[in-house]
Structure 1
Amino acid sequence: MLKYKWCVCDMDGTLLNSRDIISKENEIALKKLQEIGVEVIIASGRIDLLMKCFISQLGLKGNIICCNGSLIKNIQTGQTIYSKLINKNIVKEIIEYSLKNSIGFLIYTKDTIYSSKNNCKAEKYENMNKSLPLEFKIPIKYIDNISASLIEKMDVFKILLISNNECIKSLKNYFSAYETLTAVSSLEGLLDIMASDISKGNALKILSEKTGIDLNDVIVFGDNYNDIEMFECAGMPIAMGNSVEAVKVKAKYITRSNNESGIAYAIKNFIL
């Protein structure tokens, strides 16, 4: 009998290939784990509004970690297991700063994604919406100014800033100085901003405490800086071949890249 209870997968650069698709090989391997009693958990920087079609593809029914751990939900019941919001005054400051400096952003709330105009990420999601079934469509609203009434109705789990790599480095330094914020790079040209002490690793610890699952019995797959805390607390951390070096040095195994169905390869060769 397999000792592992959870298989936790990052999405971008890990579960998804560079075309934003879960390969058939990864799908089959993860469904095989579920058949033998291993719960598959997605742990992503994304909000669940951006993951519905992937949750459906894998047939997931348990828990999901969103926004790098700012939100933990049960997929089947919709129950919020844990959440931590960014302070509304800080949200206002970040939006004003971004608008003033022409920095693209996405703001993740429970039921809506707010976006700056002329945003490459939002345009990508709009294009996806053209072919997605109604239940998977992504709710996007655009803002080009900020008002007290808008801020008041926003409960923000994460703000994603979008710019060139040099700008992202300086933005990370700037917002890391806020004691009430966590700022971490997730992919090139992107900066994730959450409330303080938020990480996927902390989310796993919270779920472990609530369920009684020993983190030594947990497999994690990841590729980037926002996955490091997961690697530090799980028993079987596996880095993708395309991972940043800081993730690879924390891994027990390094598998193939996300474009080579690295999750499926690792499950077959390192787990089963």
Structure 2
Amino acid sequence: MYNYQSVVFDLDGTLLNSRHQILTENKAVIQNLQSTKVDIYLASGRPHQLMLPYANELGLETPLICCNGAYCFDAKSKDIIHGRPLDRNSLSALLTFCKPLDVAVRIISPKHIYLYQAAPSFQQMSEWERTREPNGVPTYQQVHEEQFVSFAQSLTIYKAVVETKDLAVLKALQTYCDDHELNFTQSSQTMADITTLGTNKAQALSQLLQAKSYDVVDTVAFGNYSNDIELLVSAGLGIAMGNSPLEVKEIANIVTTHHDESGIYDSLCLYF
């Protein structure tokens, strides 16, 4: 008999299908778990503005684990908790390093995502946001380069995102981050997240659970990419999606089906 007290889901590539939707059967089983007092958490590379629509759809009241654990957001109080912002001097130096490279950079503050170069993922996410919240204030804000640099130096920034098709540039950025004590985590083949050293979804979840006297070993975690590895390893049961790369599948306890299929539903029915 299993006695898991909480379940945590990554969003993109995990709980969300290829159309950025939660499958009907997954939504039903999650809401049923909530009715039995199992805590449900969302843990994503996204900021809270791009997570809230899904939290509201599921009827969640638990804090959101945002920007790969760089901060947690309490939707009821609208407060940021357990924040780990980037050091402004480190961020400014990173932007200086990125300037001559073929890389698009965006920075994430508590209110907006700022960028001055468009990138494919920016177009996709901004279109999704317009469709989902047509009357809302856009989270993405395209600004002039001077404004971008000014915001990086003056605002609280929790994460920088770098995007390029040049894998050599991504490797150079990873080396830079390793040398300058920054956390570099790839979130896709062409994108990586840069946060304060030691930031990950597992440490953020652990802080949230400690407040309830829960333990991470009593948690089931679902994920699909390298920014989920710490979470899958620390959870009592780490479940990788079928669309995960091999290195993620190898560290998980079990592997379920593709995120366009009902693997989450099947797994939750098995363990709860």
Instruction: Measure how far apart 1:170 and its partner are.
Output: 2.9
Deviations 1:30-81 (A, max 9, x none): 1111111111100111111111211111111111111111101222222322
1:77 alignment partner AA: S
Tell me if 1:204 matches 2:205.
Answer: yes
1:125–1:138 Cα contact (<8 Å) kept:
no
Instruction: Measure how far apart 1:165 and its partner are.
Output: 5.6
User: In structure 1, how many angstroms separate the alpha carbons of the residues matched to 2:125 and 2:59?
Assistant: 22
Deviations 1:169-217 (A, max 9, x none): 33222222212x1011122211010011101111122222222112221
Structure 2 unmatched runs, 5+: none
1:59 corresponds in structure 2 to 59
1:3 corresponds in structure 2 to 3
User: In structure 2, how many angstroms separate the alpha carbons of the residues matched to 1:119 and 1:134?
Assistant: 21
Tell me if 1:174 matches 2:149.
Answer: no
1:250 alignment partner AA: I
2:107–2:152 Cα contact (<8 Å) kept:
no
Given the superposition, is the C-alpha separation of residues 201 and 33 from structure 1 closer, same or farther in structure 2, using an over 3 Å criterion?
Answer: same
What SS is found at the alignment partner of 1:159?
Answer: strand
Tell me if 1:216 matches 2:217.
Answer: yes
User: In structure 2, how many angstroms separate the alpha carbons of the residues matched to 1:262 and 1:212?
Assistant: 30
1:24 corresponds in structure 2 to 24
Instruction: Measure how far apart 1:26 and its partner are.
Output: 1.5
Structure 1 unmatched runs, 5+: none
1:13 corresponds in structure 2 to 13
2:102–2:166 Cα contact (<8 Å) kept:
no
1:225–1:247 Cα contact (<8 Å) kept:
yes
1:255 corresponds in structure 2 to 256
2:70–2:199 Cα contact (<8 Å) kept:
yes
User: In structure 1, how many angstroms separate the alpha carbons of the residues matched to 2:32 and 2:135?
Assistant: 26
User: In structure 2, how many angstroms separate the alpha carbons of the residues matched to 1:223 and 1:52?
Assistant: 20
2:141 corresponds in structure 1 to 141
Given the superposition, is the C-alpha separation of residues 228 and 130 from structure 1 closer, same or farther in structure 2, using an over 3 Å criterion?
Answer: closer
What SS is found at the alignment partner of 1:8?
Answer: strand
2:95 corresponds in structure 1 to 95
Instruction: Measure how far apart 1:137 and its partner are.
Output: 4.8
Instruction: Measure how far apart 1:149 and its partner are.
Output: 4.1
1:68 corresponds in structure 2 to 68
1:191 corresponds in structure 2 to 192
Given the superposition, is the C-alpha separation of residues 199 and 163 from structure 1 closer, same or farther in structure 2, using an over 3 Å criterion?
Answer: same
Q: TM-score w.r.t. structure 1 length?
A: 0.91
Q: Which 10-residue stretch deviates more, 91-100 or 201-210?
A: 91-100
Aligned residues: 270
**How big is the alpha-carbon RMSD for the aligned residues of Structure 1 and Structure 2?**
2.0
1:165–1:188 Cα contact (<8 Å) kept:
no
2:233 corresponds in structure 1 to 232
2:178 alignment partner AA: S
Deviations 1:1-22 (A, max 9, x none): 9621110001111111122211
Q: Which 10-residue stretch deviates more, 149-158 or 58-67?
A: 149-158
Deviations 1:216-238 (A, max 9, x none): 21110011111111122111111
2:107 corresponds in structure 1 to 107
1:271 corresponds in structure 2 to 271
User: In structure 2, how many angstroms separate the alpha carbons of the residues matched to 1:114 and 1:12?
Assistant: 21
2:245 corresponds in structure 1 to 244
User: In structure 2, how many angstroms separate the alpha carbons of the residues matched to 1:271 and 1:42?
Assistant: 19
Percent identity (aligned): 28
2:116–2:145 Cα contact (<8 Å) kept:
no
